[in-house]
Amino acid sequence: MLETYVKKILSSRVYEVADETPLTRAATLSRRLSVDVRLKREDLQPVFSFKLRGAYNKISQLPADELARGVITASAGNHAQGVAMAAQRLGIKATIVMGRNTPSIKVNAVRARGAKVILHGDSYDQASAHATALAAAERLVYVPPYDDVDVIAGQGTIGMEIVNQYPGDLDAIFVPVGGGGLIAGIAAYVKYLRPKTKIIGVEAEGSACLYAARQAGKRVRLPAEKLDLFADGVSVAQVGAAPFKIAKHYVDDVVVVNTDEICAAIKDVFEDTRCVSEPAGALAIAGMKRYLAQATGINSAVAIVSGANVNFDRLRHISERAEVGEEREAILAAKIDERAGSFLRFCKALGRRAITEFNYRFADAGSAHIYVGLGVDSQADRAAVVESLQEKNYTVLDMTDNEAAKLHVRHMVGGRSPEGIDELLYRFEFPERPGALLQFLTGLGQRWNISLFHYRNHGSAWGRVLVGFAASKKDQAALNKYLKEIGYRFWSEQDNPAYKMFLQ
């Protein structure tokens, strides 16, 4: 199997449009991790992503009669740009179906290359189904984003370049995984020539379809409603059939990382290269850091910087989370006495640490609640801070891993519910597009009185809302049924300690 792929990789036509990207030494990461780290800079491709390789290799090998009919695909953005550029270079028609919540930078880039863009659905699966139906109805050629031999071979040229560019024995290559086309192509070439080099996939929490497949021994489909969409470029419910045939034999390990770790990796890439990668683009770096923190015997590593198509307004959210992901910031809640000098005593208890955020709210006649962010050196240092404060008789809650606290409560500290009110708290997500918030409010209707509402646009594909309803526990079953009928993703935050301390 590998020999067949190697031949296809060596005979691919990607260099008619794509560049051989540099393998850049990451000096800062190398120093911090005590490993020779190189970054494969696929963000430097003409479409700022590796996807051009597979798309062009597939389209350029189509017979003339199929080229004349035109091509179609579904994509979260980067594959779309690859298909659009390939079609532009070959002088053929291209239709791209994208979810309505696709970042505008990707939609505009596709249109700029002359492709017809159709926005349909709120997920990749919905866009893909619509593209497949259009392909059959209009006799267009469907170009798969990852589950295709020629696409895999095109992506595999990255593995060929790494083998040629790295000066000695290479211990590990870290590869971001969505549908699996990139890791399959790299694994096929590298394992054929250098079988001792480890191929390690990296996936985002909530879309770890390869990890799930490896655990089950077969491909599995993740629930679409639970897919994590922060790293939208790899948000895929099921690994491709052709990629999995390779991955199950030739991928050595899979690492799963969270949003904060991805944000920290974006910052790492920026510090070493001055490139601002997209979340999926920095995924491999996040996984490499997690893996190397526990592994031994790795002296040299390559991580793929797979893309840099990120909306500018998303950087605010990324920068907020980067320090937490790097374990350089702790988010704590504390209760202090409400009397003169108590804040000063609390700050002295923290010691000489950088305070990154401080929110204070009067709670009652005898106490006050504080939401505080402070600089730490590591997870162990964070635990030591909490222990030290507790030893000084402070009631402390570590909220560093509390999603609702970081997304919403930190911006709402100070708003407590009036005494005597019954309230049920929920967190919602809905596809972010023009008019989405109005649609959300309309969908909620007027059956339940809203007692709290917080919405913050993070520049991402999904809008996030925290809502309190004037209702009691006995109403919860009816309210849950009502919310399920509306169809938005939601979570009850009724028992969230951040809510109890600052808002209830």
Cα–Cα dist 57/14, whole Å: 6
Give, in degrees to the nearest 5, the angle at Cα 148 between 145 and 151.
65
**How many CA atoms within 13 Å lie on the side-chain side of 86?**
34
Tokens read off for 54: 């597979």
10 Å CB burial of residue 364 (0-12, 13-18, 19+) is exposed
- Assign residue 36 a region: left if phi > 0, alpha if psi is -120 to 50, beta otherwise? beta
Annotated catalytic residue within 51, 58, 267, 289: 51
Residue 24 pairs with which residues in a beta bridge? 39
Tokens read off for 153: 């071979």
Cα–Cα dist 473/186, whole Å: 54
At a CB cut-off of 8 Å and minimum separation 6, what does 198 contact? Answer: 171, 172, 173, 252, 253, 298
Q: Active site includes 306?
A: yes
Cα–Cα dist 186/6, whole Å: 10
Cα–Cα dist 250/208, whole Å: 18
E-assigned strand segments in 100-179: 116-119, 141-142, 172-176
Annotated catalytic residue within 128, 300, 306, 460: 306
Give, in degrees to the nearest 5, the angle at Cα 41 between 37 and 46.
180
HEC states along 357-399?
A: EEEEEECCCCEEEEEEEEECCCHHHHHHHHHHHHHCCCEEEEC
Residue numbers annotated as active site: 51, 306
